[in-house]
Chains A and B, each alone.
Chain A
Amino acid sequence: MSRPGRHEAQGSGEPEDGGSSRGSQHRHDRHDRHSSDVERGNDGSKERKVFGTGLAKGLAVTLRTMTRRAVTEHYPEAQPELPPRTRGVIGLFEENCTVCMLCARECPDWCIYIDSHKETVPPAAPGGRERSRNVLDRFAIDFALCMYCGICIEVCPFDALFWSPEFEYAETDIHELTHERDKLRAWMWTVPEPPALDEAAEDAKELATARRTADKLAAQERAEASGGRGAQGGDGPGEGAS
């Protein structure tokens, strides 16, 4: 906006009137070039207002702010009120971890350390093949490297990593910022509940599946029970399906 205005004023060669009729931004542009225009421009802009309103307004703002409560957080004395989804630290729910290594590999600064070994478990059915599974030996996050991007939490397919609002884990030595699984697990218990769904929202997929299974089972039982008695058998499954 300001650029065309400036050229126009230059071309027309009458800076005074052009200055006062156009926006203040335009006037500022010319201030740099002609010091004599500054004075006239200032006077022109004050014409519409009573002199000193701006000055008084400035004083009023500071005075009003002084009477209000300061926004300062008195942190060491008083704990801050953090939003529930604050990215304070990463907690590990190790029962859910399958050592798939996705988090370690997605981590942009390679701050996750995972060691594991393989164990064999006896076959599920007699005569079957032995199954193997990964057992977690070490899970550590170096919070000196972590940049709190949260990609590991996003990428974890089994919901083993969570954000916790806990933030008081400063150390005096940078090496001590590598926190092992016991510490990460302890932080897991500070993870807040997930926010409630909207009232009209669909249930989570897991819930819906579980409920459908339960309903089916209940319908089956009812059908069996009514079949045993031999009367009004048609109603039961119809209710259950819905």
Chain B
Amino acid sequence: MDALDVTVRIVAVLLAFLVLPLLVGQTEHKVMAHMQGRVGPMYAGGFHGWAQLVADGVKFAQKEDIVPAGADRRVFQLAPALALLPYLLVLVAIPVAPGGGVAQALDAGIFFVLAVMGVGILGSLMGGWASANKFSLLGGLRTAAQLMAYELPMLLAAASVAMAAGTLSLPGILGVWEWWWLPWQLIGGVVFFTAGLAELQRPPFDAPVADSEIIFGAYTEYTGLRFALFLLAEYAGIVVLSALTAVLFLGGWHGPFADGLGWLWTLLKTGVLAFGVIWLRVSYPRLREDQIQRLSWTVLVPLALVQIALTGVVKVVM
């Protein structure tokens, strides 16, 4: 691996990191609008508001960066970066195409990816604690509770795939993937995706940022660019979660003409899942805090265990 190769890969990941979340964000603007019978942004950029998020970014950059007087300055200012950067790191390990189409193949890829994704939540926690605001604190605590509850089913579901493949490496998993893994790992896929939604605090699991009850939770006190970074982290999270679900449960680059068009299959599956994230947001109302907890502990965890048992049985029988 020479320097040029490394540079190209890093630039590609960075590009994906900068472009895909904005793409998802714009899609959310438009899809959500049309699902509600509206048209969404129409002016920015001239054609159907394609540059709306660019305009938003410019607006955020112009705003004053306020740190509350009672806030823990350092932590408060560091939180947005901590929320955003883990997703960039995760992107590095996600295989896009067959035959080395991954920025950095890691032997323990699943561990790395899940561990680093969990770090992203720390950003919200730090922001919630450091803001010196009771709404932010409530939001931060809810975030923590949600992380505790949903990390377990997510890990169990991912473990099922790792068991099935017999490897922890993401490219390795895709290497042995067969089409019949789709029904085999279906339960795990649903659990993983749902738990991922909850970790991202996306509706209907958005009680930690519930704007109508605790005023956006941990982000209440943030303004300007730092707030924009939190928002960007949310969309980067959608990209990462969709890509991971696609890789682990939908076969990633597998599909017709995978040798040449593998990357397209990965992007397509990721896109469909991201659309699903948006679709769920529009369709379902917010779950109450206790309902969120109950769903995880009484539904998702048992389901994930069932999936693991199923995986184990099939693995032993075959």
C-beta contact mask, B99-138 vs A, less than 8 Å → 1, else 0?
A: 0000000000000000000000000000000000000000
Choose among A35, A55, A59, A70 the residue that contacts B34 (Cβ–Cβ < 8 A): A70
Contacts of B33 in A (CB 8 A): 70
Q: Is the interface of B mostly helix, strand, loop or mixed?
A: helix
A79 at the binding interface (Cβ < 8 Å): no
B74 at the binding interface (Cβ < 8 Å): no
A-B contact count (CB 8 A): 35
Within 8 A of A (CB), among B245-296: 279-280, 282-284, 290
A11 at the binding interface (Cβ < 8 Å): no
Contacts of B19 in A (CB 8 A): none
Q: How many residues of A contact B (CB 8 A)?
A: 14
Closest to B282 in A: A62
Closest to B294 in A: A39
Q: Are A66 and B34 touching (Cβ within 8 A)?
A: yes
In the assembled complex, the Cα of A35 lies from the Cα of B279 at a distance in Å of 30
Choose among B37, B279, B284, B290 the residue that contacts A68 (Cβ–Cβ < 8 A): B37
In the assembled complex, the Cα of A193 lies from the Cα of B36 at a distance in Å of 37
In the assembled complex, the Cα of A138 lies from the Cα of B315 at a distance in Å of 94
In the assembled complex, the Cα of A72 lies from the Cα of B35 at a distance in Å of 12
Q: Are A72 and B39 touching (Cβ within 8 A)?
A: yes
In the assembled complex, the Cα of A68 lies from the Cα of B35 at a distance in Å of 9
Within 8 A of A (CB), among B172-227: none
Contacts of B280 in A (CB 8 A): 59
Q: Are A66 and B283 touching (Cβ within 8 A)?
A: no
Within 8 A of A (CB), among B12-53: 31, 33-39, 42
Closest to B285 in A: A58
Choose among A55, A61, A70 the residue that contacts B38 (Cβ–Cβ < 8 A): A70
Within 8 A of B (CB), among A62-83: 62-63, 65-66, 68, 70-72, 74
Q: Are A58 and B31 touching (Cβ within 8 A)?
A: no
Q: Which of A's residues lie within 8 Å of B, judged by CB?
A: 35, 55, 58-59, 61-63, 65-66, 68, 70-72, 74
Q: Which of B's residues lie within 8 Å of A, judged by CB?
A: 31, 33-39, 42, 279-280, 282-284, 290
